Structure 1
């Protein structure tokens, strides 16, 4: 039997006091969909959401959050605020498109899509490719606020950047160790799964909250509405800040690559690989710290085991799509990327038929100096801390390791 250490979420004194007062007063932020929708309409002064295909997903998410998530009062407030922000954004996006329908005609050139499991070098590679001046990546401040602030001057998003920096500081305050696992920086490239969250069809909620009902429901859904809305948001962002081509990145794409290729034909997908023994331990730690932001009760072994199954299913789903679209994929080893990143960039550009300019090369070299590994501190973790054995992880990924000849680290 594996002995695990209990995971105790970090809780700043001020937040602990706030939670204690909230519990004593019986305060609970309202998470009912009707209240959220009414509040979003009141905040924006807008009523038209356009297509309402998001509503079933919102209903399921709210129901599961109310029933199962066991959030502390402050965590529940954060969650409500995020849902309300997303609904307000949908209203404002619809209003913008009504005024500028030409936005939906903007072409999204075949994007580069980084789709490897978590902790396989995807963040490093994403930031490297995003350094190319000809490349358009989602910035963290855009993920938080895709739409301009009403008082924002065109081309001057300083209000949104300031808001994202405040959110960055807030996360550091609530979970200081999180940044040594995955840096979340206001002006840095961020995962486009955060844009998919605006459809309420994404892995983001289940990566931060205990949502068994929502997770089971999500696993059976047609994800085309999520990717269709992802495209709309990319067009809205491109209308604001043009770019020659997009580079997207999120492990979540692995389970929906067939839908991604249907919405973005000719996308070029880069799948990164690393020893699952290392990625599983690291990601399990990241999940536990993320859950700890919202709840005082974090069952780290259960979370780790749930996501071991999710991730094993994702790489298998990706393999099935690869059999149908082999020309769309290339592989990058984490170890080759760490050893000689620019050689891997050259391979990717050749695969995608892109010329690697001297300007791009220089920008990428400069990015490497800024985005160094462990610059936010070294993160230590073991599988055993999360109730997992090496044998269990190896069984889950045996076929995946063999297919891609992934070495033991």
Structure 2
């Protein structure tokens, strides 16, 4: 399986020769100033955000970025800063945005590769529901004119097409569409998602001490902007990252409901490691699969343990457990009951739409992976996850 294209390899080689010496301090200062200038925003109120993101920026620099990785981090950092300044500027100019009620949102979470994306797409497509679109997560704003909308969508499409140019296999791993719902990670600045491109021990240590309260408050602000002046709908959101912060999630969004998808972690781990290897090869000079396996086994088993430990603190009925097979193999039987527990209504239109969603082709065999490639074996995975497999097995009976 070819993870990155010849184009990516040539691109990295040429830039390594012509790119010159990188100056992180100068690059960071320029990023912040460019983002402020582009949005007409103000850094006031974003001091902690800027300082925290600089930690992440430095950790990426220290990890051994390739030329392509350097360009990617520069572009992403600027985009996130611009979006931050845009959102806060809008709220400062229109204080009524901060009064918007984000009512009973639904958060889909669970280990990666457990049908979280499929579940998210199904629920978000129901009448009265709405998921944030990928282009909106990059350009979070009030309603804009058609020309501005088209321009922004085109820019995001250019980014996603560029990714596929450098790694065609990514379309099989996690396809990205500018006008379809995507994950909260494009708003949440920090979390395990940032480690899909690099081994960053210092960042992991920093994350362990990081207070995510402001990060989730910012997610709420982004949703308030996106719903202000638009028809009201129930937000349907998704990322595996939420497993680490279920208690904070329900505090930030009172009345929230959580759909937790489950699958045998042995099946999960190989797929996750394959994704991480691919994204790391795009960003890093050196990638060792045997480093990826143990790191991500610890990340995901710890997230699962943390999520389960938090359950007693959540309101009764806040979490709906959904086994992988229920949504991937027989959603017609299981989803009506899930909707009922979420306080939503399953309709004939949902059933008809589901028929089309499930008419997807069998996964392309070019995306293949084995645990052993990442220094793991099934027994090792099951030991790390403890009795979680018993829960998964119980749900599938």
Matching residue of 2:319: 329
What SS does structure 2 have at the residue aligned with 1:157?
Answer: helix
Q: Answer whether contact 1:110 1:245 (CA < 8 A) is retained.
A: yes
SS in 2 for 1:53: helix
Residues 275 and 406 in structure 1, CA contact (< 8 A), matched pair in contact too:
no
Residue of structure 2 in register with 1:19 after alignment: 12
1:215 corresponds to which residue?
204
Task: For 1:276 and 1:126, locate their aligned partners in 2 and report how far apart those are by CA, in whole Å.
Answer: 20
Could you tell me which runs of 5 or more consecutive residues in structure 2 were left unpaired when the two chains were aligned.
Answer: none
When residues 97 and 384 of structure 1 are mapped into structure 2, their CA distance, relative to the original with a 3 A threshold, is same
- Structure 2 Cα separation of the partners of residues 28 and 323 of structure 1: 52
Q: Which moved more, 1:206-215 or 1:217-226?
A: 206-215
Is 2:34 aligned against 1:46?
Answer: no
**Number of residue pairs the alignment of both structures matches:** 393
2:282 counterpart residue number: 293
TM-score scaled by length of structure 1? 0.89
Q: Hey, what's the Cα distance between the residues in 2 that align with 1:373 and 1:217?
A: 41
The 3 A distance-change label for structure 1 pair 148 and 19 is farther
Question: Is the contact between residue 49 and residue 90 of structure 1 (CA under 8 Å) also seen in structure 2?
Answer: no
Q: 3-state SS of the aligned residue for 2:261? A: strand
Equivalent residues in 2 for 1:190-339, closer than 5 Å: 190-197=182-189, 201-239=190-228, 241-325=230-314, 326-339=316-329
Distance of 2:17 and 2:260 partners within structure 1: 49
In 2: Cα distance, 1:343 partner to 1:155 partner: 43
What is the CA-CA distance between 1:156 and the residue it aligns to? 6.7
For the aligned residue pairs, the C-alpha RMSD in angstroms reads 2.4
Map 1:4-403 onto structure 2 (within 5 A): 10-13=4-7, 15-28=8-21, 30-32=23-25, 33-67=28-62, 69-147=63-141, 152-153=144-145, 157-197=149-189, 201-239=190-228, 241-325=230-314, 326-369=316-359, 372=360, 374=362, 379-403=367-391
| 1:405 and 2:389 matched | no
The 1:176–1:320 alpha-carbon spacing in structure 2 relative to 1, beyond 3 Å, is same
Q: Residue 31 of structure 1 contacts residue 80 of structure 1 at CA under 8 Å; is this kept in 2?
A: no
SS of 1:115 mapped into structure 2:
strand
Contact 1:180 1:376 in 2 (8 A): yes
Alignment partners' CA distance in 1, 2:229 and 2:174:
28
Query: Structure 1: how far apart are the matches of 2:146 and 2:160?
Result: 24
Q: Which runs of 5+ in 1 are unaligned?
A: 1-6
Q: Alpha carbons of 1:343 and 1:91: their partners in 2 closer, same or farther (altered >3 Å)?
A: same
Per the TM alignment, residue 338 of structure 1 is displaced from its structure 2 partner at its CA by 2.2
**Residues in 2 aligned to 1:298 and 1:142: alpha-carbon distance in whole angstroms:** 32
